[in-house]
Structure 1
Amino acid sequence: MRWEDLFADLELQWEANEAAELAAELADRSRREAAYLRLIDRLRPVVGHPARCRVLGGQRAPETLHGTLSALGMDWFLLAEPGATEVLVPMRSLLAVENLPVVSAQPGHEGPLAAKLDLRYVLRGLVRDRSVCTLLFVDGTSLHGTPVRVGADFLEVAEHAVGEFARRGRVRSGWTMPLDAIAYVRRVP
């Protein structure tokens, strides 16, 4: 009986060591896989769902935006706010996202088209549509107007009064700003 007890004890020790090694290997593999995740991979499962984000641009503190994450690009995301407004946020302005789900999208599987849809591409769509917007800058100031041109690293906006369009005689001023200065762009419905 003594030998059987010894063998049973050795077998239990062996199984415990194997389980501990497997757990350590799985934890190490999970850490390595997480190291390849990007923020866009964490955000992709949230498209179509409510999101709450802190962004640069508040006068004294970061501003909190909430709405449905309706689109996502390599360096931007679009929030559909309650009340039919849309907010285009450059990723560099994002400070935090609240309560992301545990799951992430597979890294690098956004497709070739999504990789081409950068912030400049989306801003060119606003220019094409002559969309009236309010731009919030990273310093907390804002500008109301219509984007008129997008360069490699800048945006030009025709400033005009709220409720007006960028027509001759209505444009107050023309502004050129680096894309890095934009905290977000809110499209006026």
Structure 2
Amino acid sequence: MDWDVMIADLESSFDAERRADLVAQSVELAEAEHASIELVDRLRGSVGRLIHLRTRGGVPVDGVACRVEPSYVLVDEGEGLQAVVPVSAVATVASLAGPAPRDGRRRPTLTALMREIARRGARVRLVLGSGEVVGRLVRVGADHVDVAVDPEGGIRSRRAPGVGGAGVVSVMTAAIEVLRSR
């Protein structure tokens, strides 16, 4: 019996098993790493790039991702039009990059952003699943925003064409799919 050949065969078998184990472990690690990636991480990796969003209600938002926060993405749609899209309203995204690392700093929330918009008195268009509300944000609550509706823009309902009006209307924050402004 050739002991050297037998030992070499054993070593070769052990090496093959070890390589197979390493391959299996690396596949598991890659799957686990990918499973931890959130959409907002990939949106953050797409800052400065053209993206194509669609909301739950099918509203298209196409433009350059300018800023991504945990609760919203800011998209420059061109010609001075910008859109804030709550991450919770996003249904699909095309042209995403790989993930960017998470930033541990405290970030402005959608509610904080809307409060600042209200302070500045900017005119906005809130796109909802049921229609649109155009006006100026007056107050921002925990789960809603009060909008002073523009007489010209008013309220446009997808379910009841021709519905308009002025005054103040309260909109549930969760119903907002896109907030647009120039």
On whether the aligned pair clears a TM of 0.5, the verdict is yes
Report if the CA contact (8 A) 2:50-2:95 is conserved: no
- Give the letter aligned to residue 105 of structure 2: P
What is the number of residues matched between the two proteins? 171
- Give the letter aligned to residue 39 of structure 2: L
| RMSD of equivalent CA atoms | 2.2
Within 5 Å, which residues of 2 pair with 1:38-77? Answer: 38-57=38-57, 62-77=58-73
Report if the CA contact (8 A) 1:93-1:138 is conserved: no
- Give the letter aligned to residue 168 of structure 2: G
TM, length-normalised to structure 1? 0.80
Where does the alignment leave 5 or more consecutive residues of structure 2 unmatched? 154-164
- 2:112 counterpart of 1:121: yes
- In structure 1, C-alpha distance between the alignment counterparts of 2:23 and 2:77, rounded to whole Å: 43
- In structure 2, C-alpha distance between the alignment counterparts of 1:40 and 1:128, rounded to whole Å: 27
TM, length-normalised to structure 2? 0.83
- In structure 1, C-alpha distance between the alignment counterparts of 2:76 and 2:32, rounded to whole Å: 34
- In structure 2, C-alpha distance between the alignment counterparts of 1:50 and 1:162, rounded to whole Å: 32
In the TM superposition, residue 41 of structure 1 has moved relative to its aligned partner by 1.8
- Give the letter aligned to residue 177 of structure 1: V
- Give the letter aligned to residue 42 of structure 2: R
In the TM superposition, residue 178 of structure 1 has moved relative to its aligned partner by 1.0
Report if the CA contact (8 A) 2:64-2:76 is conserved: yes
- 2:82 counterpart of 1:89: no
Report if the CA contact (8 A) 2:127-2:176 is conserved: yes
Report if the CA contact (8 A) 2:66-2:75 is conserved: yes
Q: Which residue of 1 aligns with 2:159?
A: none
Q: Which residue of 1 aligns with 2:166?
A: 172
Greater share of strand: 2
Q: Which residue of 2 aligns with 1:144?
A: 134
- In structure 2, C-alpha distance between the alignment counterparts of 1:131 and 1:156, rounded to whole Å: 14
- In structure 2, C-alpha distance between the alignment counterparts of 1:3 and 1:43, rounded to whole Å: 60
SS of match in other structure, 1:113: coil
Q: Which residue of 1 aligns with 2:99?
A: 104
